[in-house]
Amino acid sequence: MHLDHAHSAPSAVSADAQRPDGTRRALRIGLGGPVGSGKTATVAALCRALRDQFSLAVVTNDIYTREDAEFLLREAVLPPERIAAVETGACPHTAIRDDISANLEAVEDLEDEVGPLDLVLVESGGDNLTATFSKGLVDAQIFVIDVAGGDDIPRKGGPGVTTADLLVVNKTDLAPYVGSDLARMAADAKAQRAELPVVFQSLRSEAGVADVSAWVRARLAAWTA
């Protein structure tokens, strides 16, 4: 037993802000939310908005395939060596919350192989409203829902809606077609989240991902300050 020793060797247990070589690691932001809410599209748009200014990488967690990683590759939002896919054994929430080891490895490998990085986006596999990221894996998390999933989701709450650092209500362009009441969604989200921010977004509009990327930029500025 060596419980009293100081360990000089790199341990990089999880949330340490320093890398083993003493440099500051990249900011890690998780994106979670239900299936089909637009997580991958938001990641792609964020990459396009930020890649000229920052060194980026993405980790995807697909439930069943590598489709999210392949979508990002097809869209060529980042060079392939900056995108890693983690397999989750049918439990996407386990891989981002209860046993984060595979995701941490992917993040650290990206930093070793294509770093230095400013930002790593960790995209969860589509899951349910209770899926949140461990603080050992990410520094901040974005929860993405969409208006077509039902305008009662903000009212229902759950850890993702209630506690995520940023709530994104996506596909606002679809609201008139699916009968979703955006004002009600905003009021419900406010009631659940108090002062935590909410962004209503349509990636098909001119503004696109601008609000979310501004939020990420502010996080990056705070991380490197």
Partner 1 sequence: MSRAALLVLADGRFPAGGHAHSGGAEEAVKAGRITGAASLEAFCRGRLHTVGLVGAALAAAAAAGADPVELDAAADARTPSPALRGAARRLGRQLMRAARAAWPSDELDALAGEFPKGAHQPVVLGVTARAAGLGAQDAAYCAAYESVSGPATAVVRLLSLDPFEATGVLARLAPELDLMVDRAVAAGRAVPGEGVDVLPAASGPLLEIGAEAHAGWPVRLFAS
Q: How many residues bind partner 1 (CB under 8 A)?
A: 30
CA distance 38 to 64: 17
Least distance from C-beta 11 to partner 1, angstroms?
A: 5
CA-CA distance, 69 to 83, in Å (whole number)? Answer: 7
> Distance between CA atoms of 51 and 79, rounded to whole angstroms?
11
- Shortest Å, Cβ 104 to partner 1: 7
Residue of the chain from 18, 65, 205, 224 that contacts partner 1 (CB under 8 A): 65
DSSP 95: I
Which residues inside 123-182 make contact with partner 1, applying CB under 8 A? none
CB of 40 to partner 1, least distance (A): 17
Nearest CB to partner 1, comparing residues 100 and 145: 100
Query: What is residue 23's DSSP assignment?
Result: S
Q: Does 105 bind partner 1 (CB under 8 A)?
A: yes
* Shortest distance in whole angstroms from residue 216 CB to partner 1: 27
Rounded to a whole number of angstroms, the minimum distance from the CB of residue 160 to partner 1 is: 20
Query: What x/- string results for residues 5 through 24 when contact with partner 1 is judged by CB under 8 A?
Result: x-x-xxxxxx----------
> Which strand ranges, in their side-by-side order, compose the sheet holding 56-62?
83-87, 56-62, 119-123, 27-32, 140-146, 166-170, 198-200
Dist CA 223 CA 39 (whole Å): 23
- The CA distance from 45 to 43, in Å, is 5
- 151 is written with which tokens? 């305008």
Query: For residues 105 and 152, which CB has a smaller minimum distance to partner 1 in the complex?
Result: 105
The Cβ of residue 105 has, within 10 Å, a number of other Cβ atoms equal to 13
Site string for partner 1, 72-101 (x = CB under 8 A): --------------xxxxxx--xx--xxxx
64 or 177: whose CB is closer to partner 1? Answer: 64
Which residues pair with residue 31 across a beta bridge?
A: 123, 142
The least CB distance from residue 37 to partner 1, in Å, is: 21
Q: Which residues bind partner 1 (CB under 8 A)?
A: 1-3, 5, 7, 9-14, 63-66, 86-91, 94-95, 98-102, 104-105
